[in-house]
Structure 1
């Protein structure tokens, strides 16, 4: 057969007369098709698998899976349509079936972001920037959520601090008693933050960072709360530096 990648992820696409493996492959593909129609279907019932995969292409859930799923679609078509007396002309290798089952499991039951949750260090708008710098340096933080009277107002980032320093250093000195709220005025318009619910999936995290990038903006931090509302207690924070962990969680 042609058109299938041979990058070493699995050994071939067919072989070993394993009817059970082939049945599991078709069952897994049926689950995949139901998920794609539910998530990306138009609701009109005319969407074929290539069309659904094309719609899903830009989502974080499909990162690293699109090429494999296109190949599996070809294989599924051969298995279903090329039969003699209702017997398969081809059977799938166990490794192929396991790989598809792995993908379907991640797509239909994606890992949640619980492993990003934990105590979050914050500062106040009234705090001196020198105090905030000390905290960020000692804890190796690049982002620091800022509150005023217990209400969230923004995220202080190392990039914003660098711009403030560049504009205010005189004779190699800077006034570190300036309040954090003044430094926040140097935040770029493309620098954004967003909130996400604690039960969100890792794919939603990947989608969020990609969505802001497509819009020409930079997502500095995803702030985790119970329901994804800024009025709720912070339960965790995700930055661009955490994306390798997110990718690892979904096996990519």
Structure 2
């Protein structure tokens, strides 16, 4: 077999195998169908979707429309094989979730005074802080929306007193917010999968907190919101442009 064609086919089949793995080895393992499914969940597929779809057409032409022996109706260009191999390398060794997280993570204990947390919201320009108990048990995610809600529920005669108000008091006013935990060294695919699952389940995932072990009661190494996922797409597109 022509060497360039063999390299293309081998790499293409390896990517096909990755797509099967990313989708739990479904019965329908058609390459383009797997592409469609993976596009919704994973940035590397989303960014390279059109390319991979065209490569699938080329692969079909090579496999099903061979004229004879080593004479193919179409032969991939060197640049095509190089691009396909780069995509395969990214699938083989995806970046870690922690690379796209906001860090370091500012967090507070549940007995922290609310006035201090309000100052932190203003100073750091973030919208949420993880809250932990004194024994490092995760207590919940305290948000600026939750603070506003608590203030509206606790004003008297048009005035609000923050004296003795603690983070734990505000947590009771937080609406249920989905928070997941993931090992900091987990591949970015697992991070994206968490947000995709929450979308399918119609459950708003507010954040994924990354810890060294993935245990909720370990201190946070990073925190990822839907806004941080934009970094994943940007990173992949920059890598593509610099190739």
Q: CA offsets, 1:85-136, max 9 Å, x none?
A: 2212212233433332232222232111232374321111112211111112
SS at match of 2:139: strand
Q: Which whole-Å CA distance do the structure 2 matches of 1:246 and 1:97 have between them?
A: 24
Match of 2:187 among 201, 226, 229: 201
Match of 2:178 among 181, 184, 192: 192
Correspondence list, 1:61-100, <5 A: 62-86=45-69, 87-100=71-84
Q: CA offsets, 1:178-205, max 9 Å, x none?
A: 111111122112x211111011122222
Correspondence list, 1:10-159, <5 A: 21-40=4-23, 42=25, 47-53=29-35, 55-60=37-42, 62-86=45-69, 87-115=71-99, 116=101, 118-149=103-134, 150-159=136-145
Which residue matches 1:8?
none
Which residue matches 2:162?
176
- Indicate how the Cα distance of structure 1 residues 152 and 30 shifts in structure 2: closer, same or farther if over 3 A, else same: same
Q: 1:156: Cα distance to partner?
A: 0.6
Gaps of 5+ in 2: 239-243
Q: CA offsets, 1:50-74, max 9 Å, x none?
A: 4544554543253344443333212
Which range is displaced more, 25-34 or 164-173? 164-173
Q: 1:40: Cα distance to partner?
A: 3.3
Q: Which whole-Å CA distance do the structure 2 matches of 1:43 and 1:113 have between them?
A: 25
Q: Is the 8 A contact 1:41 1:47 kept in 2?
A: no
- For this pair of structures, how many residues does the alignment match? 232
Q: Is the 8 A contact 1:142 1:158 kept in 2?
A: yes
Q: Which whole-Å CA distance do the structure 1 matches of 2:124 and 2:216 have between them?
A: 24
- Indicate how the Cα distance of structure 1 residues 231 and 83 shifts in structure 2: closer, same or farther if over 3 A, else same: same
Gaps of 5+ in 1: 1-18
Q: Which whole-Å CA distance do the structure 2 matches of 1:20 and 1:172 have between them?
A: 79
Q: CA RMSD in A?
A: 2.6
Establish whether residue 223 from structure 1 lines up as the match of residue 206 from structure 2. Answer: no
